[in-house]
Amino acid sequence: MFMNGCEKLGIRSAVAPLAILSAPFEGRPPCINRGFCNQGCMPDAKFSTLIVHIPKAIKAGAEVLADCMVTQVLMGKDGVAKGVAFVHEGTTYEQKAKIVILSAFVVETPRLLLNSANAQYPDGLANSSGWVGKSIMVHSSQDVYARFEDEIRMYKGTPVLATTQDFYRTNPKNNFTRGYTLHSHGSRPVEFSKAISQMEGGPVWGERLRETLLNYNYYGRITLVGEVLPSPMNRVTLVDEKDEYGLPRAKVTFSYGDNDQKLIEHAVCNMSTILEAAGGKVEYVVPDTAHMMGGCRMGNDPKSSVVNSFGQTHDIPNLFICDASIFVTSGAGNPTNTVMSLALRTAEYIKEKAKQFELLRARSV
Ligand code: SF4
């Protein structure tokens, strides 16, 4: 449906690249196309860190401490991280470390750095620039649903099957900068009904909801992955309210800027045009967001960034960040592959510098 619509309009599209097996690999079976990827892939055909990397790490000697909440990164007096404090079943423990790598994502990584403030680092760790928590981003992710004469059956196959990046780059003819990706995107019945019954300004309810869901098989959807520009006003900060560990909770502040709004408007128009070219009648436009990024941005200048290009914090040589919080811009593509590439880069860097970290640790102890 999506590719037909694109073709009629001269828009280039392609089968979406997915981290899902099409043939047996490393003991995992191929995808059976039943389409429950968002609920968890029971055959393990779909990639996840949990089923791919963690078992390999355990085999290589790693120990996983589950159900633990890290409450603080512990610092030595010499400006080197010496480990973390964590709580397990009500008891606080200390884990010593040569290198501390935070991978707690866009909200919890900045929160942990801010909550680890001490006399030497009163504004939080790795925060001499003042950028910890700033410039968090999402992807604008509006969904446009159209009804067709023929059956679409959105539940079949993996949710994202086809994609176009013809609108990815800045086009000087547009009234906004940067661009977006569009995906054909299957939606399961519960997700579909939740989305349209909670739409701001016009929730679909009662008879209309029932009629829509009875005709679920005739709906198709296109989803936006829109680049959102970074703004320091969008940020993670701490509030006085405490969680069950006595740690200040995070407050997330975010709103779209003018460029983001114009991009969304342009994208929704194109999504509707593609659906109509494919023979559909647009019925629902559902606002949504996806993929949080930023909050500990990467950069060469320690005055305006938190980590260098290896994920190493500028302020503390043996403290690394390895997650989407180090993104500087959001791009307009799903971010997981970039997170994985950066993780590989960080891992290779740490391996290369292993000796130096041994020396740091010796000094610190
Ligand atoms: S359709 Fe999704 S959930 Fe089903 S086997 Fe394929 S990847 Fe797994």
Q: Is residue 39 part of a domain?
A: no
**Do 161 and 107 belong together in one domain?**
no
Helices (H), the chain: 2-9, 49-59, 105-115, 189-197, 206-214, 258-277, 336-352, 354-364
Please indicate, yes or no, whether residues 203 and 184 belong to a single structural domain of this protein.
Answer: yes
Residue pair 323/105 in contact (Cβ under 8 Å)? The answer is yes
How far is the centre of ligand 1, averaged over its atoms, from the C-alpha of 347 (Å)? 29
pLDDT on residue 182:
98
Question: Are 252 and 320 part of one and the same domain?
Answer: no
DSSP state of 150: S
**274 in any annotated domain:** yes
Residue 138: per-residue pLDDT? 98
Domain count within the chain: 2
28, 41, 44: which to mutate for ligand 1, most atoms within 8 A of CB?
A: 41
User: What is the spatial distance between Cα 14 and Cα 3, in angstroms, rounded to a whole number?
Assistant: 8
Average pLDDT over residues 224-240: 98
pTM of the model: 0.92
**Which pLDDT does position 355 carry in this prediction?**
76
Q: How confident is the model at residue 39 (pLDDT cuts 50, 70, 90)?
A: confident
Question: Is residue 27 in a domain?
Answer: no
Shared-domain flag, residues 87 and 104? yes
> Across the chain, what does the average pLDDT equal?
94
81/178 same-domain check: no
Examine residue 363 and state whether it is found in any structural domain, yes or no: yes
Taking the CA of residue 20 as reference, the ligand 1 atom at the shortest distance is 7
Confidence band for 361, pLDDT divided at 50, 70 and 90: low
Pocket test for ligand 1, best of 21, 46, 50, 161 (most atoms within 8 A of CB): 46
pLDDT-derived band at 362, boundaries 50, 70, 90:
low
Q: Report pLDDT for 146.
A: 97
Q: Give yes or no: residues 254 and 127 share one domain.
A: no
Report the separation in Å between the CA atom of 133 and the middle of ligand 1, taken as the mean of its atom positions.
35
**Residues 78-137 pLDDT 10s:** 899 999 999 999 999 999 999 999 999 999 999 999 999 999 999 999 999 999 999 999
**Ligand 1 centroid vs 185 CA: distance in angstroms?**
14
> Are 346 and 320 within 8 A, CB to CB?
yes
User: What's residue 360's pLDDT?
Assistant: 65
Alpha-carbon separation of residue 211 from 190, 204, 284 (angstroms): 14, 10, 14
Mutate which of 22, 25, 28, 32 for ligand 1 pocket (most atoms within 8 A of beta carbon): 32
CATH code of the domain covering residue 325: 3.50.50.60
User: Which of 18, 20, 38, 39 best tests ligand 1's pocket when mutated (most atoms within 8 Å of CB)?
Assistant: 20
In this predicted structure, the answer to whether residue 365 has a pLDDT above a threshold of 60 is no
Amino acid of residue 302: P
**Do 141 and 242 fall within a single domain?**
yes
**pLDDT for the residue 34:** 86
User: CATH code at 255?
Assistant: 3.30.560.10
* Domain stop point among 293, 319, 338: 293
Ligand 1 atom 8 nearest Cα: 41
- Answer whether residue 15 is part of any domain: yes
Q: Do residues 150 and 249 both lie within one domain?
A: yes
> Which of 293, 314, 346 represents a domain boundary (last residue)?
293
User: Is 177 among the domain residues?
Assistant: yes
State whether 124 and 90 are in the same domain. Answer: yes
Token readout for 291 is: 């993929």
Which SS3 state, helix, strand or coil, does residue 189 take?
helix
Residue nearest to atom 2 of ligand 1 (CA): 37
Residue numbers of the domain that contains 179: 1-19+136-293
The per-residue pLDDT for range 181-190, each reduced to its tens digit, is 999 999 999 9
Pair 118, 201 in one domain: no
pLDDT level of residue 31 (50, 70, 90 thresholds): very high
Ligand 1 neighbours (beta carbon < 6 A): 20, 31-37, 41, 43, 45-46, 158
**Cα distance between residue 125 and residue 132, in whole Å:** 9
In a domain, 42, yes or no: no
- Domain end among 240, 264, 293: 293
The answer to whether residues 331 and 205 belong to one domain is: no
